[in-house]
Amino acid sequence: MKRMLLLVVVLAVVFTLVACVPSQPAAPAEPAETEAAQAEQPAAEAAKTYEDLTIGFIQTGSEGGWRAANTASFKETAEQLGINLKFYDAQNKLENQVSAFHQFNQDKDVDVIILAALETTGWEEVLKEAQEAGKVVVLEDRRIDAPDDLYVTYIGSDFAEEGRKAAVEMCELLKDSEKKIVWELVGNVGSSAAKDRGQGFREKMGECGIEITKSQTGNWSITEGKQVTEAWLKETKDVQGIFAQNDEMGLGAIEALKEAGLVPGEDVKVLSVDATAGAFKAMLDGDLNVTVECNPLLAPQVYEAALKAVNGESLPKWVPSQEGVFRATDANLQEIADGRKY
């Protein structure tokens, strides 16, 4: 009986041990089986580099020194980075910009579209088309009025802030003048640069009693800036300051003032925006009092943003440029001018 009991205990222990032994690992799959399984898994996509990018760039045109520097920045930087750049000059015509946008949307090679918009409105249709075509859209220089989910980011100036700075500087220039009548030469009227600079100037000008008695477009050009100022001067010479929304129009106004027998910079204070080489020369000649900087050298930041977006990174909707103010009274003006790129 005892033997039987012992036998039962031994058998129970043996069964328990057998049950606890881990099962054998499965035999390795046949090579063909493994390859087939891998083929089903999508391979993780390698991050794109600048050399992989084809970018369609829609420029406004070539209206002056600021724009020339902006274009050069995009062309030179694309070459340095190995980006394939398809550059389009819209010759300051909105319809050209819109049709170039349609073409880039349809161009299978184009990954990214960069737009410097002539006007703030009228972009929703092409932006939606771009989204459907899977294009990354980056705005440079000019903001637009459109839902911000239709583009990745806007990299450019705070134009309203430039206008506010201009008003503060004009107040300083006219602080000893009893009358503070200012004429405003406006850029291309539908552009964000013109709208926002005008608005920013008006926000601050009241603080010292500036009154704008004349305001008209000079379309960013020396010739038109001169013509408009000439016409005004025929009506009256009662003006203490001219606020030109870019340097070219300021240079045109300076010519008109001289031809009318007035001394620009003294009889009439002249302030413009951009800080181009032409403005520095005019300040060194004593004709221009102040230029508010607007940075055109945006390409490195814009291309970096485009690459990040292509690789799926999300970006802030606006990256404002850092900008200063230069005055004819600055001690080291020549040195500053010599060190600038545009």
Rg (CA), the chain: 32
Is residue 141 a contact point for ligand AHR (CB under 6 A)? yes
Instruction: Select from 63-71, 168-176, 200-208, 318-326 the region that touches ligand AHR (CB under 6 A).
Output: 63-71
Order of strands across the sheet with 84-89?
84-89, 54-59, 112-115, 136-140, 153-156, 318-320
Residues 319 and 277: beta-carbon distance below 8 Å: no
Distances (CA, A) of 306 to 14, 111, 159, 336, 337: 69, 9, 23, 32, 31
Instruction: Select from 15-23, 36-44, 64-72, 221-229 the region that touches ligand AHR (CB under 6 A).
Output: 64-72
The answer for residues whose C-beta is within 8 angstroms of residue 8's C-beta and 6 or more apart is none
Q: What are phi and psi of 272, to 5 degrees?
A: -135, 180
Distance separating alpha carbons of residues 55 and 35, to the nearest angstrom: 37
Instruction: Select from 16-24, 58-66, 72-80, 130-138 the region that touches ligand AHR (CB under 6 A).
Output: 58-66
Residues 233 and 226: beta-carbon distance below 8 Å: no
Is residue 273 a contact point for ligand AHR (CB under 6 A)? yes
Distance separating alpha carbons of residues 293 and 97, to the nearest angstrom: 26
Shortest Cβ distance from residue 111 to ligand AHR (Å)? Answer: 25
What is the signed CA dihedral for 21, 25, 27, 32, rounded to 10 degrees?
160
Applying the rule CB under 6 A, the residues between 190 and 209 that interact with ligand AHR are 193
Residue count at the site for ligand AHR (CB under 6 A)?
A: 12
Is residue 123 a contact point for ligand AHR (CB under 6 A)? no
One character per residue 142-171, x = contact with ligand AHR (rule: CB under 6 A): x-----------------------------
Shortest Cβ distance from residue 58 to ligand AHR (Å)? Answer: 14
Shortest Cβ distance from residue 63 to ligand AHR (Å)? Answer: 5
Beta-sheet strands, E only, within the chain: 54-59, 84-89, 112-115, 136-140, 153-156, 181-186, 211-217, 241-244, 269-274, 290-293, 318-320, 325-327
Among 119, 274, 287, 293, binds ligand AHR (CB under 6 A): 274
Instruction: Determine the residue type at 204.
Output: K
Is residue 67 a contact point for ligand AHR (CB under 6 A)? yes
Among 57, 66, 101, 104, binds ligand AHR (CB under 6 A): 66
Among 56, 63, 69, 303, binds ligand AHR (CB under 6 A): 63
Applying the rule CB under 6 A, the residues between 230 and 249 that interact with ligand AHR are 246
Is residue 183 a contact point for ligand AHR (CB under 6 A)? no
Is residue 293 a contact point for ligand AHR (CB under 6 A)? no
Nearer to ligand AHR among residue 69 and residue 78 (C-beta): 69
Applying the rule CB under 6 A, the residues between 79 and 108 that interact with ligand AHR are none
DSSP per position, 147-168: -GGGSSEEEE--HHHHHHHHHH
Distance separating alpha carbons of residues 332 and 74, to the nearest angstrom: 30
Shortest Cβ distance from residue 142 to ligand AHR (Å)? Answer: 5
- In sequence order, what are the beta bridge partners of 318? 154
Instruction: Select from 8-16, 62-70, 125-133, 306-314 the region that touches ligand AHR (CB under 6 A).
Output: 62-70
Is residue 64 a contact point for ligand AHR (CB under 6 A)? yes
Instruction: Summarize as ranges the residues that interact with ligand AHR (CB under 6 A).
Output: 63-64, 66-67, 141-142, 193, 220, 246, 273-274, 294
